[in-house]
Chains A and B, each alone.
Chain A
Amino acid sequence: MGMTMAEKIIAAAANVETVKPGDIHTVELDRLMSNDGTTHLTIDMYHQLQNPHIADVNKLVWIMDHNVPCDSVKTAASHKKMRDFAREHNIKFYEGAGVCHQVMMENHVTSGELIFGADSHTCAYGAVGAFGTGVGCTDYLYAMVTGKSWLLVPETLRFELTGKLKDGVYARDLILSIIGMIGANGANYMAMEFGGEGLQTLCMSDRIAICNLCVEAGAKTALMDVDEITLTYLKEHGREPKHIFKSDEDAQFAKVYEIDLSTINPIVAKPHFVDSVVDAKECIGIHIDEAFLGSCNNGRIEDLRVGADLIRGKKVHPLVRFLVVPASAEVYKQALVEGIIDTFMEAGAIVMNPNCSVCWGSCQGVIGENEVLISTGTRNFKGRAGHKDSFVYLANAATVTASAIKGEITTADQIA
């Protein structure tokens, strides 16, 4: 019987011929990413081990991104612990470079790898056909010490894409539509695999945005077929695939969905669940206090271009704070070259350094009691962006920017 991409990557990492869903295997990991959300706890546990050591320091990448720059004395203590440990052990370390997943995509991830990241959105790496999955700090520590871990082989949902997204519709609308369709636990414990001719119409930025959000349907990982677009992206970033895996013709999928991209419309996910999705038009007129364009989901140059094209020559509404946060220093520099930062500044936006920002509600930009945020971030859980009694609507870069101009939720086509 044939195997899916996820099964093939696990089989290779476990050094066995075949695997099937439900099997538990010991696997060798290619890469281990950790950020400042949990690394301080990993280090504390490391020091309590009977025999603390690192299996292969070259596999480790540590990225400061959640609270950068540091916002309090308590955070400073956690940051210092991480920074000092990384220096002492010669761990590859980034600070100020951007949001961890974007930094990983720009510098490290390649096709066929099996990667643990101490962050749930690690599934983003499937955009280049790598098996990335989010873990906690105990799992991370075990893998750091042994180079290995255990994995339960997931079932796979296959998404066969056809057609092309309409103008004004983005990858984010596609993945929010899928999450709305299958639900917040619709892919729990499963892999979500994407392919088909429609995939060819999606650039790497789109692909990262789609894979990144799959965890919001509960997925263990997301994987996309590797094609010329993938190989060009890797080459441009100085990397080669480790291995190109493709699901067999007779692979067993738990379910196959066929999605015509041309049927997708701009979507808004309403508070407080990512699967609470509606046509963006249904939210027109809802009051907002803040708008956020950024995050590992939608803070790439393609997203900033969408926002800049809309707001050029216009102003942010006087009652709205519009935060623009490039996902990485590379994105920021490109935006400077293209005049995009100028455009946002002229319009009255607050342009911030690359970091997770208000997407995770613990650094600059948090919202207060009863305030409303429209965001290209990853989540809209209760209190996610600040006060426990506040509200987050998720939307694409165009809807967020249009809303920042209008002072209430609106879609790009409503902005003259």
Chain B
Amino acid sequence: MGKIFKFGQDVDTDQIIASQYIIYPTIDEMKVHTFESLDSDFAANVQPGDYVVASENFGCGSSREQAPSVLKALGVKAVVAKSFARIFYRNAINIGLPVIVCKELHDNVQTGEEMELFMQEGVVRVNDKEYECTRLPEYMQGILDQGGLIASLNKEEEK
């Protein structure tokens, strides 16, 4: 179980991690500034295993991989949104952060509610209610299952 942090639509990568931080040397130095313009307490309050829930077009804007990386570094277990912008979606899978499309969840939950994700079954549960999620294409699920694209690259090199 993890807590929900709920955000709206068209949350862009500048809101997830602003430009002035992305050139910092490491993700750990950046992560304390996650969602700073939308919820300045987010980085202090989020716990490993918590979830980000959003509406349409989450992660639009720049290609900065720092956006999914800071969420993963803070221990966010998955982002569940009505839809994702393309580059964020791809980056998240590549670094091994689950990104799950669920059309109904956002309108029915609030920040602070407890949520459980059953990735294999493609279901999330909040307040005893289950919501069905869209499954990833097999190829992308494969990258995620291996722990991201670099892990899969290292495995390819071993062959």
Contact = CB atoms under 8 A, between A and B. Distances in A.
Nearest to A140: B65
B63 A135 contact: yes
10 contacts: A37-B22, A37-B64, A74-B23, A135-B87, A138-B149, A218-B60, A218-B86, A362-B18, A383-B14, A383-B18
A138 B63 contact: no
Interface string B23-38: 1111100000000110
Contact of A142 (B62, B137, B149): B149
Given A41-B27, A49-B153, A74-B25, A136 B14 contact: no
B137 to A, nearest CB: 7
Contacts of A122: 63
A184 B85 CA distance: 9
A137 interface: yes
Contact of A77 (B12, B25, B27, B57): B25
B63 A41 contact: no
A189 B18 CA distance: 24
Given A185-B83, A188-B57, A138 B95 contact: yes
B87 A136 contact: yes
Contacts of B150: 45, 48-49, 138, 141-142
Interface in B122-157: 137, 139, 148-150, 153-154, 157
Interface string B73-99: 000000000010111001100110000
Contact of B37 (A67, A78, A188, A383): A383
B63 A185 contact: no
**Would you list the 3 A-B pairs with minimal beta carbon distance, nearest first?**
A136-B65, A136-B91, A388-B37
B14 A384 contact: yes
A134 B87 contact: yes
B23 A362 contact: yes
A45 B148 CA distance: 12
Contacts of A220: 86
Contacts of B137: 24, 152
B19 interface: yes
Given A134-B87, A152-B137, 9 more contacts: A49-B157, A67-B23, A74-B24, A119-B63, A185-B60, A218-B85, A360-B62, A384-B14, A388-B18
Interface string A160-202: 0000000000000000000000001100110000000000000
B49 interface: no
Contacts of B114: none
A152 B86 CA distance: 11
B63 A379 contact: no
A128 interface: no
A118 B94 CA distance: 14
A382 B23 contact: no
A36 interface: yes
Contact of B148 (A37, A49, A138): A138
Contacts of A74: 23-25
A136 B10 CA distance: 19
A381 interface: yes
A381 B17 CA distance: 12
A50 B62 contact: no
Nearest to B154: A50
A40 B21 CA distance: 13
B23 A383 contact: no
A145 interface: yes
A139 interface: yes
B91 A184 contact: no
B61 interface: yes
Contact of A78 (B10, B25, B148): B25
Interface in A375-416: 379, 381-384, 388
Interface string A38-54: 10110011001111000
B45 interface: no
A21 interface: no
A66 interface: yes
Contacts of A146: 153
A353 interface: no
A85 interface: no
